[in-house]
Amino acid sequence: MRLAIDVHLDYAFPEPADVLLQVEAAALPDQRMDSESLVIHSDHPIRAVTGEDGIGQRCWAHAEQRLVADYHAIVSVERRSIDLKALGATPVRELPPEVIRYLLPSRYCESDRFEHFVRRQFTGLSGGALGAALVDWVRGALEYSSAATERGGGALTTFAERRGVCRDYAHLLVALARAAEIPARCVAVYAPGVQPADFHAVAELWLAGEWHLVDATGMSDASDMVRVAVGRDATDIAFMTIFGTAQLFAQSVTVRRL
């Protein structure tokens, strides 16, 4: 699968501010960068830093009055969809050290508050069968609603309101998986067919010794996602973190199959 990615960001800043951008597709064994260009219109130097878990990179920029960024890439995705139900469980005591933190609660994934629910709702399941059941439950329980972006909140809020956007689906799935002793992390991706077209958030579950991409919204498939960043929750994978205030002028994300 080859995908063309085009991103345009245009923000105004009433006062100078530092900005951390995370929009570049990550170069990984299952996604090859055929071409790539990031242009940030700024009078100040840009500094790149490595992303979480060594995946992708972030860029520091300093904005005065206006910040415009354009990103273009063509990526070949070499990844097949996997049937989660066929994957076995990994005892937590055998997890690699770098994976352990994805078992623990984080700001927007309050997994410790879901342990009782998971034990009662998914009795008798383990490993990939449990992971698949969690994905199905989140997809069936939630209603996709852009109005949910106005109130923010984490997995607990989404669980109570039963609605959200892609970030909320990912937070809830990750929280439930961690409560079920399946390491899980949030992932920023580009994917075709996402509605509305935008930066997209999904989850990755650690099963059978590997990370596996899953989209609880059902809008994208592991075979046509391009990873940008990974992390504990939305805090780590935000496409833009502004250390100050900003006003949106224009923003567009387009992902096309070639």
CATH code (residue 96): 3.10.620.30
On whether both 248 and 196 belong to a single domain, the answer is: no
Other CB atoms within 10 Å distance of the CB of residue 232: 21
How much is the pLDDT for 149?
Answer: 58
Q: How many domains does the chain have?
A: 2
pLDDT of residue 184: 98
Q: Which residues of the chain have pLDDT under 70?
A: 148-151
Q: Name the token pair of 52.
A: 């979480």
| 94-103 LR contacts (CB < 8 Å, sep 24+) | 95/183, 95/206, 98/53, 99/183, 99/206, 100/183, 101/232, 102/178, 102/183, 102/184, 102/185, 102/206, 102/232, 103/178, 103/181, 103/183
Give the H or E element holding residue 178: helix 166-179
Q: What is the dihedral of CA 164, 118, 115, 96, to 10 degrees?
A: -90
Q: Give the model's pLDDT for residue 42.
A: 85
pTM value is 0.95
Q: Are residues 244 and 227 in the same domain?
A: no
- Which CATH number fits the domain that encloses residue 26? 2.60.40.2250
- 101 and 224 co-located in one domain: yes
Q: What is the pLDDT of residue 223?
A: 95
Name the residue among 63, 59, 62 with its Cα closest to residue 47: 59
Are 21 and 69 spatial neighbours (Cβ–Cβ below 8 Å)? yes
pLDDT, one tens digit per residue, over 139-189 is 999 999 887 655 678 999 999 999 999 999 999 999 999 999 999 999 999
CA 196 to chain centre: 16
Q: 245 and 233, same structural domain? A: no
Check residue 49 and give its pLDDT.
96
> Residue 153: its pLDDT value, please?
86
Beta bridge partners of 72: 6, 37
| Largest interatomic CA distance in the chain | 59
Rounded distance, CA 40 to CA 179, Å?
41
Question: Both 28 and 99 in a single domain?
Answer: no
User: How far apart, in Å, do the first and last CA atoms of the chain sit?
Assistant: 8
The C-alpha atoms of residue 207 and residue 210 are separated, in whole angstroms, by: 6
pLDDT in the model for residue 112: 97
Residue 132 and residue 8 share a domain: no
The boundaries of the domain holding residue 178 are: 84-237
Predicted pLDDT at 25:
98
Supply the pLDDT for residue 89.
87
Judgement on whether residues 93 and 140 belong to the same structural domain of the protein: yes
Residue 124, SS3 per DSSP: coil
- What is the spatial distance between Cα 133 and Cα 19, in angstroms, rounded to a whole number? 39
What is the identity of the amino acid at 91? P
